[in-house]
Amino acid sequence: MIILSKNKQTLKINEFKFKCCIGKNGTSSKKREGDKKTPKGIFSLGNLYYRADRINKPFTKLKKIIIKKNMGWCDDVNNSKYYNKLIKINKKIKYEKLYRKDYKYNLLILIKYNFQRPVIPNGSCIFLHLTNNYKPTAGCIGLKEKDFLILLKLITPNTKILIS
């Protein structure tokens, strides 16, 4: 099964079309850390991370992981060991905090861009996450919560996302 991102406003899976938002500076096949671009290509999806204090356990075939206060995603271009990996928050490492005050990471799925053998500085922390206003992201894809919950019911661990 493939999720298709055909343009800056639409994510399509089977017969479902969802309005979405992408990186502020569009898409790129030459993604760089901090460029606010969504990477082009076909990517596997990772686990579902969710805030159990805000969201009931979602129905999905993906592995579900509860977001804890000490969880971060390394975006430190000076740290080749942890770059683009889930970490326990450490003041010596730059990271994207997963346990946020806002709602955006109440639900998130890793898009496995630059993931298996990450190349610094080709980009990190590319997620499917929530939005409530469709404002451009820093490179992720944002969906409304109701659409995200529908998407979760449709996808499997073998689902890929094609960003063009």
Q: What band does 126 get if pLDDT is binned at 50, 70 and 90? A: very high
Domain spanning 2-163: which CATH class is it, in words? mainly beta
Instruction: Please state the pTM of the whole predicted model.
Output: 0.95
Residue 6: Cβ within 10 Å count: 12
Instruction: Tell me what pLDDT residue 64 has.
Output: 98
- 18 alpha carbon, distance to own chain's centre: 16
Query: From CA 34, how far away is CA 139, in angstroms rounded?
Result: 8
Instruction: Tell me what pLDDT residue 2 has.
Output: 72
* Per-domain boundaries in the chain: 2-163
Answer yes or no: is pLDDT of 7 > 80. no
Instruction: Tell me what pLDDT residue 6 has.
Output: 64
User: Which of 84, 48, 81 has its CA nearest to residue 66?
Assistant: 48
